[in-house]
Structure 1
Amino acid sequence: MRVLLADDHSIIRNALKFIFQDLEDDTDFEEVRGYPQLEERLTHASPLLDMVVMDLQMPGYEGLGQIRRIVDAAGPIPVAVFSMMENVDDIRAVLRQGVRAFIPKSTDEALIGTLLKLVAGGGTYIPAQVSGLTDNKTTAPALALDASLAPGLDRSMVTQAPEDPRLAGLTRRQREVLALMSQGLSNMEIGNRLGLNLSTVKTHVTGILKALDVDNRTQAVLMARGLTSG
């Protein structure tokens, strides 16, 4: 696999390298630090790329139309955004340019590799705060998009994936805990957010895993986001 990493911070590029190498040992990397270099690289057909992972806040940014140009230039190659951006409206605007995934840099480290693997395999990812699974909303299921919908993504074109029936069996409090797990919060952080002691949070997490019939937190979060049937 050959991955183009576009980020002006070397620490982020190096972190992504470690994550990809854990996914697949035989991974080659190319690196650019800004939009001009990124767009220039995509004008060359070889060596063939398998994936592009890009930041948004890089030198040379010209606007959303530039992201669309990058997606179009990449062609069938999946483009994933890995960004500090958290504003829901801004994330939606970026997704509408056709990127396959928007992965906030605040995402739990254990999930990032799984999400990159999903995108590399042709999938699409939308963060929980955009798809509706937040600590303020516990009933709306996340969106699971077919990769064919990624180009020209518009929410009016997308239908919601049916919620796994196992999710319906969760209590209100378990859904709140699961929503915060989906944001990458630790048990301690969840307890602080909900006013619960650590042992109570652990009990809720154990109950969630049992109710969803999954082995770990990552599987539970992916199920809640509609990315796996568990």
Structure 2
Amino acid sequence: MTGPAEPLPTAAPDAGIRVLICEDQPLVRAGFATVFAAQNDMEVVGEAADGRAAVAAAERLRPDVVVMDIRMPLLDGIEATRHLAGPDSPSPARILIVTTFNVDEYVYEALRAGASGFLLKDAHPGELVAGVRTIARGDSLLSPAVTRTLIGRYAQRVRPTTPAPSPDRERLKALTPREHEVLLLISRGLSNAEIAAELVISQETVKTYVSRILTKLDLRDRVQAVVLAYRAGVAPGAD
């Protein structure tokens, strides 16, 4: 049984990316802390060993990125994520889920709860560092492989089961044909550069389309756009 982790001192304002580690396994937590502490643009501002402590620490410390495990005592990572980044959160946190492959359905639920992306626990330390930087920039971390193996696996479960228009599909009517096309490419997990190459347009134009899509659909990031596309039953390769 693990006890609550003591929060580390708050980083100075110029310390770079402020990271909160939420993980119930002490060795894993220590490993993450070592990786982040070795970066000259990151500072570990706190640690938590259970979901309730994670929520309290995030609300108190206001980190730039919360690295969140899913299976934790007292409150799991999904509920902690929903509390910190869900629709009712006045100031949504940026959350990177780090989990194992055999809990992929939980990852899907965490993305729906408001997580900005995820990595597997066997990822290379460099991938973990890059993931934190990506989410700190305000981008989402969702690769094409992730889309197919994790979200795609559960797409059928969230697809409309009747031909009647779903509320999610109705929302998509606000998009222009080009924006709808870009949304479908986002749902395949393509990056802005890959979308630009697919449509033979500039990356700046893609950024404009993505921004318009998120604004029109009242979405926070690309992860939420992917989830909406699957729920509406329009994402390719989801059967």
**Which residue identity does 1:117 align to in structure 2?**
R
Change (3 A) 1:79 1:35: same
User: What is the CA–CA distance in structure 2 between the aligned matches of 1:25 and 1:111, rounded to whole Å?
Assistant: 15
**TM-superposition CA deviations, 1:169-189 (whole Å, max 9, x none):** xxxxxxxxxxxxxxxxxxxxx
Distance 1:86 1:9, change over 3 A: same
Which residue of 1, 4, 9 maps to 2:25?
Answer: 9
- 1:155 is matched with which residue? 227
The worse-fitting range, judged by mean Cα deviation, of 113-122 and 87-96 is 87-96
Please state whether the residue corresponding to 2:128 is helix, strand or coil: helix
Residue 74 of structure 1, CA deviation: 8.0
Aligned equivalent of 2:133: 117
- In the other structure, the counterpart of 1:142 is 189
SS in 1 for 2:113: coil
User: 1:92, CA displacement in angstroms?
Assistant: 1.8
- Structure 1 residue 57 corresponds to structure 2 residue 71: yes
Which ranges in structure 1 are unaligned for 5 or more consecutive residues? Answer: 135-139, 161-230
3-state SS in 1 of match to 2:47: strand
CA distance in 2, matches of 1:93, 1:17: 26
Letter in 2 for 1:30: G
Q: Which runs of 5+ in 2 are unaligned?
A: 1-16, 151-186, 193-209, 215-219
Task: Pick closer, same or farther for the CA change 1:63–1:117 going to 2, 3 Å.
Answer: closer
Question: Which residue matches 2:93?
Answer: 77
Tell me by how many angstroms 1:31 deviates: 0.7
Q: When the two structures are superposed, what TM-score results if normalisation uses the length of structure 1?
A: 0.54
CA-CA distance at 1:152 after TM superposition = 4.9
Change (3 A) 1:36 1:48: closer
1:99 matched to 2:171? The reply is no
Identity %: 18
Higher helix share: 2
